[in-house]
Amino acid sequence: MEQETVHKNKIRLPAVNYKLLMLLPTIMLIFSTVYVIWLSLGPGLTLDIDLKGGTQITGDVSTSPDTAAMESALKSFGANVRSARGVTGWTVIIELPVEANSDEVMKVLAAAGWNLSNYSVQTIGPALGASFFQQAQIALLIAFIAMSITIFIIFRVPMPSIYVILCGASDLITALAASQLLGIKLSLATFSALLMLVGYSVDTDVLLTSRVLKSAEGDINTKIRGAMRTGLTMTGTAIAALAALYIISSSSVIIHIASVLLLGLLADIPYTWITNAGLLRWYVERKAKKAII
């Protein structure tokens, strides 16, 4: 009899105040929201050239480039130089004002001993960049609205559906804030990553909500723990794949996409398994009390 009691106790979740745990993701969300609002109203979001306009030269070099020395050599052009490491070498990305002459820039680099191979030049006007920015925001908004409608159709219960949508929005805001804080510029590539996060971020929330509301096996703790095992496996697999992509890729576009997705998936863990799980537990317990009364 004692052995059976011990065995039963082992399958129970530890007695943790889940409402207290929810403070952590709540603080994270508040900080992220305030930071994004401050950027939007103050200094502005850090935009890449495809959203603000400008000229970008991308080329390959065989050895690790001295970006500080390159910037110094191109000081008169107002250049910003960064590099990315790939499997076969290094990629140099040079950002310039839209009026900069790319041929003159290449001549200065060649005279200083830097010869970029397989280089390409991209120039986007400020008006076109602003148009891209507006269209990207509209696309993100439409995707989020479509996702919200789909969630309501799937569950047909207002509050759990709102919890899923809230956690999805939290992932997007936190990923945007973290990427800006880490110096990752907002571009069409990072917007595409945010669009993917609209789907990625609600996968685990849908899994959790489905198990809690529709599964008839076990109590609330058992359902959450079962969903957590599956959900964390899904998230961990995606994080491992994106980390490998980030490490081996020399494309700045792929690196930016992988970076934003990684930030979003890492943020999804506390938002799903603390915030959404806590809200669902509160919802189920409150509903059970009403049924008893």
**pLDDT at res. 221:** 84
Exposure string for 189-220, b = 16+ CB within 10 A, e = fewer: bbbbbbbebbebbbbbbbbbbebbeeeeeeeb
Q: Give the CATH class of 19-45+128-292.
A: mainly alpha
User: Of 130, 259, 149, nearest to 202 (Cα)?
Assistant: 149
CATH 3.90.226.10 is held by the domain 54-124: no
**pLDDT at res. 166:** 93
In order of 29, 35, 165, 211, 262, the CA distances from 246 in angstroms are 25, 26, 28, 33, 9
What is the mean predicted confidence (pLDDT) over 186-198? Answer: 90
- Spatial separation of the C-alpha atoms in residues 122 and 132, rounded to whole Å: 15
**pLDDT at res. 5:** 43
Helix (H, G, I), strand (E, B) or coil at 25: helix
> Are 250 and 90 spatial neighbours (Cβ–Cβ below 8 Å)?
yes
Helix (H) or strand (E) holding 84: strand 80-85
**pLDDT at res. 10:** 44
For residue 270, the tally of other CB atoms under 10 A from its CB is: 20
In percent, the amount of the chain with pLDDT more than 90 equals 37
Which tens digits make up the pLDDT trace of 65-119? 788 888 888 888 888 888 777 666 778 888 888 888 888 888 888 887 777 777 8
To the nearest 10°, the Cα dihedral for 158, 164, 165, 169?
150
> Are 200 and 238 spatial neighbours (Cβ–Cβ below 8 Å)?
yes
Ranges of each domain in the chain: 19-45+128-292, 54-124
Tell me the pLDDT band of 276, cut-offs 50, 70 and 90. Answer: very high
| DSSP of 210-223 | HHHHH--SS-HHHH
Q: Name the DSSP letter for residue 88.
A: S
* Single pTM value for the model: 0.82
